[in-house]
């Protein structure tokens, strides 16, 4: 089961698509894949089939020029993230050296992308508590809410690695349990002593179309849509957002390291080619 990464670009008035075959896992535990830098598969186990839909030339909105908002993390948060990154509990390095271009805004969905279970699946809900020794977060019935390892590592990487200087983080969630989501963000740690809430600058958590979420993110940050990347577990959301010219990554079973890397590499290569619209989706599908 495989990843079909198809990159699309304009050649004059024609659309040219190139395809390469990569194998990626579904994100379930125990399913692993190793791919070389030039995208030759070295090893795989059963997983998902990933494809990238070519951009829709006439549906991408015109990107408004702008520069990233100057606001970064508070200096106290930055100091604690750097200290945590240097600790023995630091997360693995996902920096992907060699990328010439990185998104200026990384946007994560919450339910089944950043964490599990989804808010509506919880038997109890608020109030949530955190074990200060283990960092485990549970709702009032004792059910655990946890970040997917790749999501936690990606967030920790962005806030603690110099390669990501100039990049900001946002969440865009349609959950109806807005207060629960915000409470979980204030408790879940991405690095020892550093919560998810502290490293996410823009939080758009409300029901409705994610086009509204992204319009507000664009207006608040001043970041063009084609300088963003979006990770989500539902194609209905990625279908809407890619029309803005934003590169989307569909992760059907939570964010994985492989999908994180695939999305960043697609973004880097599109920018190197000079694309003005990145309106396509790297898709993971269950076979």
Catalytic residues: 109, 111
Distance CA 276, CA 227 (A): 10
- What single DSSP character describes residue 276? S
Identify the H or E element spanning 261. helix 257-272
Distance CA 217, CA 249 (A): 18
Q: Edge-to-edge, what's the strand order for the sheet holding 281-286?
A: 14-22, 3-11, 48-53, 281-286, 247-250, 228-232, 105-108, 168-173, 202-205
Distance CA 245, CA 58 (A): 10
Distance CA 112, CA 137 (A): 16
Task: Look up residue 36 and give its two tokens.
Answer: 């070389």
Identify the H or E element spanning 83. helix 75-85
Q: Are 287 and 50 in contact (CB under 8 A)?
A: no
Distance CA 282, CA 287 (A): 16
Q: What is the DSSP string of 123-187?
A: SS-SSPEE-TTT--EE-TTS-EEEE-HHHHHHHHHHHH-GGGTT-EEEEEE--S-HHHHHHHHHH
Distance CA 254, CA 28 (A): 9
> What Cα–Cα distance (Å) separates residue 204 from each residue in 89, 214, 271?
30, 8, 26
């Amino acid at each position: 089961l495989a990843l079909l990464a198809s990159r699309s670009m304009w050649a004059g008035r024609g659309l040219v698509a190139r395809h390469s075959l990569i194998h990626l896992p579904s994100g379930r535990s125990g399913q692993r894949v190793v791919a070389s830098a030039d995208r030759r598969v070295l090893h795989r186990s059963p997983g998902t089939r990933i494809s990238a839909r070519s951009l829709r030339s006439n549906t991408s909105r015109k990107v408004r020029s702008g520069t990233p908002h100057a606001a970064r993390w508070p200096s106290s948060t930055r100091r604690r993230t750097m200290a945590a990154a240097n600790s023995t509990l630091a997360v693995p390095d996902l920096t992907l050296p060699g990328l010439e271009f990185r998104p200026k805004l990384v946007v994560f969905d919450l339910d089944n992308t950043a964490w599990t279970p989804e808010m509506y699946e919880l038997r109890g809900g608020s109030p949530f508590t955190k074990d200060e020794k283990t960092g485990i977060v549970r709702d009032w019935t004792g059910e655990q809410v946890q970040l997917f390892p790749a999501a936690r590592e990606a967030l920790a990487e962005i806030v603690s690695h110099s390669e990501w200087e100039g990049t900001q983080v946002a969440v865009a969630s349609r959950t109806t349990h807005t207060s629960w989501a915000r409470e979980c963000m204030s408790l879940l740690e991405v690095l020892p002593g550093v919560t998810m809430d502290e490293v996410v600058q823009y939080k758009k958590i409300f029901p409705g179309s994610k086009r509204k979420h992204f319009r507000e993110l664009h207006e608040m940050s001043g970041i063009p849509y084609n300088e963003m990347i979006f990770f989500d577990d539902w194609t209905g959301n990625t279908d809407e957002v890619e029309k803005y010219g934003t590169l989307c990554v569909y992760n059907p079973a939570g964010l994985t390291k492989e999908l994180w890397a695939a999305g960043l590499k697609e973004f880097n290569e599109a920018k190197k080619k000079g694309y003005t619209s990145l309106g396509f989706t790297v898709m993971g599908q269950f076979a």
